[in-house]
Amino acid sequence: MKKNYDFSDKSINMKSFDIIPAIDIIDGKCVRLTQGDYAQKIVYNENPLEVALMFEDIGIKRLHLVDLDGAKKGQIVNYKVLEKIAGSTGLVVDFGGGIKTDEALKIVFESGAAIATIGSIAVKNSMLFFSWLEKYGAGKILLGADVKDEKIAIGGWLENTDILIFDFLKKNQIAGIKNVFCTDISKDGLMQGASIDLYKKIIDQFSEINLIASGGVSSVNDLDELRFIGCSGVIVGKAIYEGRITMKDLKKYIAC
């Protein structure tokens, strides 16, 4: 049953809440997938910079840029798109997809990313990931935790694991991670609502982690619920491109 929250209750802890639009890239174009399925691809704009500028124009400060080609291939592909957006806007860009080596991470930062999003390598080679965390600092790393049935998925969501999200976060919190975004693959792209219960469980167990929600967001009510339960931000993609959440809607949250 869907919970009805009283958003007028000023006694709740409303910490800062970032709206972070997502631009997913395949073949240099802005696309969206459904549940991580590369066969269910919709191209929304052939010029990602144009989309980024649109967000910046309404006051958005953060951008989540995903190299889906890189995630699938296991190495960075669309870093030129990152260069163009970082060089032509003032957006704080986090970039992920295919970051597997020291050299790849170096390219990401040299191409203008303020933050590197790391997912698969944190599972497959945790010692390398921890070395990056130590070298660059927790503020430069955003841990991507993609889940299906509360278990981690990697490799552009193409590979499932038996690692529970809670065990994964505990291990990385001990190593010093502070910033995490979590995507429920079963919700992503369907616009049927965010995984509020999952995020609430994570926040209850890991209060010191800044949790960014991702996947399933379909309306401003989802944004309100995520802010209410204590998320530090939300990544929004398809709901914007499909017109479910308008630019006017987003403006209301920019000062949060």
List pLDDT tens digits, range 50-80: 999 999 999 999 999 999 999 888 899 999 9
Residue spans per domain, the chain: 18-251
Give the pLDDT of residue 200. Answer: 96
The average pLDDT across 11-15 equals 43
Q: In the annotation, is 146 catalytic?
A: yes
List pLDDT tens digits, range 174-230: 999 999 999 988 776 666 789 999 999 999 999 999 999 998 899 999 999 999 999
Q: In the annotation, is 18 catalytic?
A: no
Catalytic residue among 18, 24, 67, 69: 24
Q: What is the 3-state secondary structure (H, E, C) of the chain?
A: CCCCCCCCCCCCCCCCCEEEEEEEEECCEEEEEECCEEEEEEEEECCHHHHHHHHHHCCCCEEEEEEHHHHHHCCCCCHHHHHHHHHHCCCEEEEECCCCCHHHHHHHHHCCCCEEEECHHHHHCHHHHHHHHHHHCHHHEEEEEEEECCEEEECCCCEEEEEEHHHHHHHHHHCCCCEEEEEECCCCCCCCCCCHHHHHHHHHHCCCCEEEEECCCCCHHHHHHHHHHCCCEEEECHHHHCCCCCHHHHHCCCCC
pTM, two decimal places: 0.89
Catalytic residue among 67, 146, 184, 222: 146
Share the mean pLDDT of the chain. 89
18-251 fold: TIM Barrel (3.20.20)
Give the pLDDT of residue 223. Answer: 95
